[in-house]
Structure 1
Amino acid sequence: MAIKALGYVVIETAQPEKWDEFLTELAGVMRAPDAEDGAALYRIDARPFRFRIETGAREYFLAAGYEVADAAELDRLAGAIRDAGRPVEIASAEEARLRGVAALLRTSDPAGNTIELFHGDSRTDAAFVSPKGVPAFVTGPMGMGHAVFSAPNFDETVAFHRDVLGFHETDMPRFQLFGPEGPSMGFAFLHADNGRHHSIAFGEGPVPPSGAVHIMLEMPTLNEVGKAHDRMKALGYAESATLGCHMNDETTGFYVQTPGGFDLEIGCDSLVIDPASWETTRHEAISTWGHEWAWQKAMKEQEAAG
């Protein structure tokens, strides 16, 4: 047994009103009743929340919360993490209750990325109703979506998530992002024990000031992705990557910069794998079409300006 799925994300912000607009008006996420401690909660399905937005002094991705099977597995992982020399903080019963789980621990990987592990997830009978008419997000056993981080000590960090936490390699490419003469950059796309191509991923490089690279939500259709893309433009949010289709997980979508500085990928038609029989791939390109990144546009503009 290992990780079941991505359950939720926790974000700190000094501009909660902007996050509320971003999540409800752009992504079409549903505002839930606030937590007892004042955090703003947002739903995409029957879980009481998938986004927990905490008001603070900075813009920062605090943690990604991943579900495990049961109390015994959580205890086993706590021991394995300690044996690997990483910290383990056992959350109080009150903090676990505020997360909507039975028990919770917190750790960090060798790059300093914070991971929460929990068991005993909860659901609500209240219907999910998107303020923008999104009929549903693709979740279920595949969880919320995925989270992507950076790691300067790439090999060590990937080994921790694979050998200690129990994620599995899906795609392990190296990309020449800056042309054939530039340095290559390692990436690791890791799946949990479900059909989502990757529930966590890492790029080789410094941890960004925002604390994460991006998170991903899966829409049910390309039509819903397109409507979200229009809402992004109407609301004036920065597009981080144009519409395109990834080669490895086959997701068609776009990237938009969140108020926290990291990106949100909104996509559809993602590849569903068999986690028990999947053999690791090493794709040589990021996308089959599209996905012109903001930094690529900026480089072209600089070149055109001389």
Structure 2
Amino acid sequence: MGVKALGYVVIESVDPARWDRFLCELVGAMRAPDGADGAMLFRVDERVFRMRIERGARDHFTAAGYEVADAAALDALADAIAAAGRPVERGSADLAASRGVTGLIRTSDPAGNGLEFYHGDSAADTPFVSPLGIDHFVTGDQGMGHAVFSAPNFDECVAFYQDVVGFHPTDMPRFYFGGGGPDDPGMGFAFMHADNGRHHSIALGEGPVPPSGAVHIMLQLPNLLEVGKAHDRMKAMGYPESATLGQHFNDETVGFYVQTPAGFDLEIGCDSLVIDPASWEVTQHIGISQWGHEWAWQKAMKEAQMNAAAAE
């Protein structure tokens, strides 16, 4: 039993039209024909969709959809999740069709983060063509990218993803945002890979689940040129920058973070590390970024300190 890759994400939106501008004009995704139920669908490769935007009563990340090998693997996973005490909903034929899959289940982790697991993927009838001329996104066997959630019951959730679902630990650090002194307990993180070369297909941070339902998702562009152009578009279009350009220690991705219309972030990056999942030895990095990645909260703190100093 194991997970192949992140296949798609499902997002609830009060105003789905905001996502069309964000995904097509900033990110470079391709608008696909709407779903039978009116949901907006967006592609970044040959799959029928990678982002599904459903009209709803709030702006919220609904679920990350992960692929497993076949029907038998899905059945075994459903049994394991139920045995772990989590609710499992077997998807109807109509629900499966809406995801472009053969079969699926819906559930959540012990912190309540939304998950779907499926087997039997499908490709679109037409080639992927980015409206911005982007040649391709890095997907294939590595899947769409990754999703990052938060969990106050961190250890319980890590155990769920590893022991029940079948993800594998890649990097298991503890970051000390307060300097690591005696009054700084630090924050646990877990970066876990699926059965492919992407450094992590899911990650967890220790803390409360945000109102948006997720911390961030990640899409990988083919090179730094495309990342830089996307960064320029973000600034020109007025979207909030959540973190400046930088490079991570653990997966070596070079990129930036932008706030999505639902409030969680989108990481847009390139040059990510490809691991050998069969031989990888777990790491424990001591920092988030080798360079860059000044976060919006860090900027806000600096501004507040400067304003306080100026007022004295």
TM-score bucket of the superposed structures, by smaller chain: over 0.9
Write the distance in 2 (CA, Å) between the matches of 1:4 and 1:32: 24
Partner of 1:276: 278
SS at 2:144 equivalent = coil
SS at structure 1 position matched to 2:4: strand
Give the Å deviation of 1:38. Answer: 0.2
In the other structure, the counterpart of 1:103 is: 103
Match of 1:262 in 2: 264
Q: Tell me how far apart the structure 1 counterparts of residues 232 and 132 of structure 2 sit (CA, whole Å).
A: 12
Equivalent residue for 1:126? 126
User: What's the CA shift for 1:57?
Assistant: 1.2
RMSD: 0.7
Match of 1:245 in 2: 247
> How much does 1:228 deviate?
0.4
Alignment of 1:78-89 (within 5 A): 78-89=78-89
Across the two proteins, how many residue pairs are aligned to each other? 306
Residue in structure 2 matched with residue 151 of structure 1 by the alignment: 151
Structure 1 position 124, deviation (Å): 1.8
Task: Measure, in 2, the Cα distance between the counterparts of 1:180 and 1:120.
Answer: 46
Q: Secondary structure at the match of 2:96?
A: helix
Offset, 1:179: 2.4
Q: Distance in 2 between matches of 1:3 and 1:208?
A: 25
Unmatched 5+ residue regions in structure 2? none
Query: 1:256-288, CA deviations, whole angstroms, 9 ceiling, x for partnerless residues?
Result: 000000000000000000001111100000000
User: Does 1:231 find its partner at 2:233?
Assistant: yes
Specify the alignment match of 2:162 in structure 1. Answer: 162
Alpha-carbon displacement from aligned partner over 1:85-133 (angstroms, at most 9, x marks no partner) = 1111001011101100000001111000111000000112301111111
In the alignment, which residue of structure 2 is the partner of 1:2?
2
Alignment of 1:1-306 (within 5 A): 1-181=1-181, 182-306=184-308
Distance 1:274 1:198 in 2: 12
Deviation track 1:11-47 (CA, whole Å, cap 9, x = no partner) reads: 0001111111000000000000000100000000000
- Deviation of 1:159 (Å): 0.3
Following the alignment from structure 1 to structure 2, what is the Cα–Cα distance between the partners of residues 166 and 197?
A: 15
Cα distance in structure 2, aligned partners of 1:228 and 1:183 = 36
**Residue 186 of structure 1: how far off its partner (Å):** 0.2
Q: TM-score, structure 2 length as denominator?
A: 0.97
Aligned counterparts of 1:22 and 1:65: Cα–Cα separation in 2: 21
Cα distance in structure 2, aligned partners of 1:273 and 1:180? 30
Aligned residue identity for 1:16: P
How far did residue 302 of structure 1 move? Answer: 1.0
Deviation at 1:183, TM superposition (A): 3.0
CA deviation map 1:197-228 (0-9, x unaligned):
00000000000000000000000000000000
Aligned AA (1:111): A
Q: Would you identify which runs of 4 or more consecutive aligned residues in structure 1 move more than 3 Å?
A: none
Letter in 2 for 1:83: A
Task: Tell me the distance in 2 between the aligned counterparts of 1:212 and 1:33.
Answer: 26
3-state SS of the aligned residue for 2:122?
Answer: coil
- Partners of 1:76 and 1:60 lie apart in 2 by 29
Cα distance between partner residues in 2 of 1:132 and 1:57:
31
- Kindly, what percent of the aligned residue pairs are identical? 72
Unaligned runs of 5+ in 1: none
Q: Which amino acid aligns with 1:251?
A: T
